[in-house]
Every structure is written in C-alpha cells, then in structure tokens.
Structure 1
C-alpha cells in the first residue's frame, strides 16, 4: 500500500533554485500539449544564447569569434 502524505506533496510545493535572471519563470503544458509560459520566448532565447554553449557549434573555428562579438554587443 502507498503511504499517505508521501513526499510527492512536498515536491509540488517547493520551488526549484533558478538563475536570478529567470526569477518568477513558470512553464506548464496544457491539456492540448501546448507549452504555456509567463515569459516572452524572445527573452528565454536571449537568456539561453547568453548562458548556454551550443554543443553543435563549439568545434567550429569561427564560433569563438561569434561568441566574443555577441558578448561585446551587450
């Protein structure tokens, strides 16, 4: 038999630790399978471009130049 009041209830209440730039970000999937967020997709993409290395492009010779030029623009 399953225990009543399991740890699953606690997990739903706890908020995960997030990057300060994404404080308040919430994402859900509705009954139709559509992703619902409270942030603009452009803001999410900007954050990902700034903070996440693109594994497919890391080995390219011109990637470091591209990455450095993007950092200087900000």
Structure 2
C-alpha cells in the first residue's frame, strides 16, 4: 500500500512585499525548487532590501550598497 499525501484545505497565502506579489515557491518530489517568479527578480529585490551580514564588516560596504566604487590610491 502506498501512502497518499494529504493536502491542507484552504490554506491562506502568506503575505509578501508588494514587489513580490504573485511569488509562489514549491519543492517538488525530487527536491527541486520551483518558483513562479524569475530568480533574477528575486535576487535584485534581496540585494536592494537585505543587508549582507558577511560584508557589513568591510570598510567600503556602504559605498558598495550605494553603487559607488572607492578610489584606490596606488
């Protein structure tokens, strides 16, 4: 006998940022992530709105966030 997966009935959709409206992420039976939105758009959103903890210790991190490059003295 095989086990059948039970789907929860009428589960509400989670709230998302207005830029990510329509985002739906699922994981299929093989562990592959399926998304209803282009990954490039998700990455752009994360770059704009989430600070990178690993880069925060760098001196030029604030300049990098603003899109400026620090002039290096040679």
TM-score interval w.r.t. the shorter chain? 0.7 to 0.9
Q: Which of 16, 37, 41 does residue 43 from structure 1 map onto?
A: 41
Q: Which one has the bigger helix percentage? A: 1
Q: Which of 27, 30, 48 does residue 29 from structure 1 map onto?
A: 27
TM-score by length of 2: 0.75
Structure 1: 5+ residue runs without aligned partners? 1-8
TM-score by length of 1: 0.75
Give distance in 2, aligned partners of 1:23 and 1:51: 16
**What does the per-residue CA deviation read over 1:13-69, in whole Å, with 9 as the maximum and x for residues that have no partner?**
111111000011000000000000011111111011011000000110011001012
Tell me which structure has the larger Cα radius of gyration.
2
Q: Number of aligned pairs? A: 61
Could you say what secondary structure the match of 2:58 adopts? coil
Structure-2 residue corresponding to 1:68: 66
Q: Which of 51, 54, 63 does residue 52 from structure 2 map onto?
A: 54
Give me the CA root mean square deviation: 1.6
